[in-house]
Structure 1
């Protein structure tokens, strides 16, 4: 099930005009759906579609005599930068750039979480920063009519119940899918406060070992969503709160505050 949004059309145009395109947004906005849709569209133009996980696979399966689109989902991590994967990319990124420069019919399209794409370390992947499509940007974000079409696709007779909640959360497509998959949900309560979605995301930060990001969120709660930058950059009286929160989040209580600031 797919609605051909202006974002999908924009990404398709970009991959036709560029050698590498990165689709980014926060969770649940539709990165993977657009990634797969565009790959299917390119297959109709005689591109061989190859899903890869390891950047070395691009060099391994590159064929200068074949139109090829390499497809990568969750580029360099899901809930944060995957250090191992980043190191693999750093080892081969210049060779990949050369391949793309020398062959106009070899292309890469990737989907990447916004928190990964915005990490300073991601800049090392220069080839993946040449054309970035942010699905939350004003020119391609979901319009109200597109959201209505997505709701009609998944929810059929319940669309009118959620009309007032289209603009509450960026992850609207995911909420529609989850509502479709769980018909016993109270649809109005779920769209007003999709607590379970965000609870799962936060739990995965901890399980995946992104303790600094987890701690930064906890500090936002501890400071009632008023975590001023100077609290993490200057000597202030909240030392005990910060140290205790770090320990509770499996971080050394002496963790340097700039690390927490970067995590935010």
Structure 2
């Protein structure tokens, strides 16, 4: 109905109640249900899913008479769907997609293709309020969509309305991760006692709100797809993997605890250990969410979902990013809410030389567990280094004799990284043990990165080359005069460090 709704049209509470439910099920619910559908059946896989289940489609059409001809038109209009011989003459909708599916059709596909576990009481009975699965929430939305469609008098008494509204509100909030909460509140707040309500304007506003919701849902879907690709990349990289005391310690700690920080020097396999542990938890039903900042945690937290948030180099790889550490402090309350339930976990990595600041902050927020891959307990043994190198060499045709292997495995610095670099480059392979005993490429990379990301630490290293211990003590003691001041100034200038820098700050880096 277009134009204005007069008080005469909604002259009773019962009619107003029914209109609100109808608005919610017809105008608001399709977007979140479609997002849920697209998550379970990605648009680029829709045709393949339909083709794989064509016998079920036939049964729903010919035997059960559940699908109607107009619904077949939409299904067979999806690009890539093969039209079977039994199909009736159709004026199929060209280029159709899930955007053309209504709630009934989407739930029908998810239900009959068994893409969503059925609610305990089945799909056609209103689920118990205690059941909060995807299937149960979809069943609730479908149930009340049918209630509206099959109503004979377009009225709902107040008690029934309160029950229906609370159920629909919660179901929509769950499947939309809260994005429908605002629009539901707006509908609740409509003043029906106005002389006239402009239904056209009201519907336009609702449609505008729905478009905002759909944009947010699309963003969430794109984010999940991107995350899925990232995690698949981890899985691919871990095809070459060696279990060590350290990697298994990380798995054990994150399974038993809520927040774990992996520390170690460069190249010790912190990131690999984090990826391995993450994939282990995914097998236990955890959704893996890689983030780069604490700001992303509250917005991606779903309280009913088992989630593992992972952050690599939590405060930066070469120096502490003060802005990041400050964020943890400023977002403390929101982060604590995000991890209130035990089904949320946090796994992070940090280099040993920069972890102290974040450790201090996190220790005041959580029961933080630290796994130090360079500790005496977890550092790679010679046996583990040999096993790791052999794992990497499995796909390499070059023969490495026992003596060369022994020399290679005598190296302790950044051994996991050296194994990966060694087997990925033919020039390194030809060097054999020499590469491990003097990995100049690795040192060059580290120095280049240090110069770029932590000028002060790089400057201290250069000072060590130009000054002996006694001279350095003079530099670091503000009460004493710097000998060879001209050389000191040249080093600072070459390292892009201001000459007026606090000598005490350089001392803190050195010690």
**TM-score, normalised by the number of residues in structure 2:** 0.48
Q: Name the structure 2 match of 1:189.
A: 434
Report deviation, 1:170. Answer: 2.2
Report deviation, 1:41. Answer: 0.5
Q: Name the structure 1 match of 2:500.
A: 254
1:74 alignment partner, one of 306, 313, 326: 313
Q: Once superposed, which parts of structure 1, at least 4 consecutive aligned residues long, lie more than 2 Å away? A: 82-90, 97-100, 120-129, 155-160, 164-170, 223-231, 236-239, 241-244
In the superposition, relative to structure 1, how do residues 81 and 41 fare at CA in structure 2: closer, same or farther (>3 Å)? same
In structure 1, distance between residues paired with 2:278 and 2:308: 7
Structure 1 contact 162–191 (Cα < 8 Å) conserved: no
Deviation sequence 1:178-209 (CA, Å, 0-9, x none): 1100122212221111111111111112222x
Q: Name the structure 2 match of 1:5.
A: 244
In the superposition, relative to structure 1, how do residues 253 and 74 fare at CA in structure 2: closer, same or farther (>3 Å)? same
Which 5+ residue runs of structure 2 have no aligned equivalent? Answer: 1-239
Instruction: Tell whether 2:372 aligns with 1:134.
Output: yes
Deviation sequence 1:27-48 (CA, Å, 0-9, x none): 1110111100000100111111
Structure 1 contact 123–129 (Cα < 8 Å) conserved: no
2:449 alignment partner, one of 204, 208, 220: 204
In structure 1, distance between residues paired with 2:295 and 2:400: 46
Deviation sequence 1:139-184 (CA, Å, 0-9, x none): 1111111100111011343263141243434201111111100122
Q: Name the structure 1 match of 2:391.
A: 153
In the superposition, relative to structure 1, how do residues 8 and 135 fare at CA in structure 2: closer, same or farther (>3 Å)? same
**Larger Rg computed on CA atoms:** 2
Q: Name the structure 2 match of 1:177.
A: 420
Report deviation, 1:228. Answer: 5.3
Report deviation, 1:16. Answer: 1.7
Report deviation, 1:88. Answer: 2.6
Is the partner of 1:69 in helix, strand or coil? strand
Structure 2 contact 362–368 (Cα < 8 Å) conserved: no
Is the partner of 2:260 in helix, strand or coil? strand
Report deviation, 1:82. Answer: 2.2
**TM-score, normalised by the number of residues in structure 1:** 0.90
In structure 1, distance between residues paired with 2:334 and 2:386: 44
2:462 alignment partner, one of 208, 215, 218: 218
Deviation sequence 1:5-29 (CA, Å, 0-9, x none): 1111111111122111011111111
In structure 1, distance between residues paired with 2:471 and 2:270: 30
- Count the aligned residue pairs: 261
In the superposition, relative to structure 1, how do residues 121 and 106 fare at CA in structure 2: closer, same or farther (>3 Å)? closer
Q: Name the structure 1 match of 2:483.
A: 238
Is the partner of 2:284 in helix, strand or coil? coil
Which 5+ residue runs of structure 1 have no aligned equivalent? Answer: none
Structure 1 contact 216–263 (Cα < 8 Å) conserved: yes
In the superposition, relative to structure 1, how do residues 236 and 122 fare at CA in structure 2: closer, same or farther (>3 Å)? farther
In the superposition, relative to structure 1, how do residues 225 and 166 fare at CA in structure 2: closer, same or farther (>3 Å)? farther
In the superposition, relative to structure 1, how do residues 243 and 225 fare at CA in structure 2: closer, same or farther (>3 Å)? same
Structure 2 contact 262–348 (Cα < 8 Å) conserved: yes
Q: Name the structure 2 match of 1:124.
A: 361
In structure 2, distance between residues paired with 1:72 and 1:133: 15
Structure 2 contact 247–273 (Cα < 8 Å) conserved: yes
Report deviation, 1:121. Answer: 6.4
Instruction: Tell whether 2:59 aligns with 1:59.
Output: no
Structure 1 contact 152–159 (Cα < 8 Å) conserved: no
Q: Name the structure 1 match of 2:253.
A: 14
Report deviation, 1:230. Answer: 5.6
Structure 1 contact 22–129 (Cα < 8 Å) conserved: no
